[in-house]
Amino acid sequence: IGELDFHRPLRVPLYEVTIEEILKLQKQDLEKKDRIEKLRQKAMLEHGLVDEGNPIEEHY
């Protein structure tokens, strides 16, 4: 019986599934970041820190 070759990576038959899972998770992560960013902007708007996406300039 042959010895195991530790120098060659094992071929994973579920390669395609793994790629799909990774893409799905990346998409979910992007959607989550987008939601967080929108909530952050909304909070800043409500607290008067931002005016329509532009920082409010100080007027003297």
Q: Say if CB 47 and CB 38 are below 8 A apart.
A: no
Contact 41, 50 (CB under 8 A): yes
Tell me if residue 51 falls in helix, strand or coil. strand
pLDDT, greater one: 42 or 5? 42
Q: What is the pLDDT of residues 16-47, one digit of tens each?
A: 667 888 899 999 999 999 999 999 999 888 88
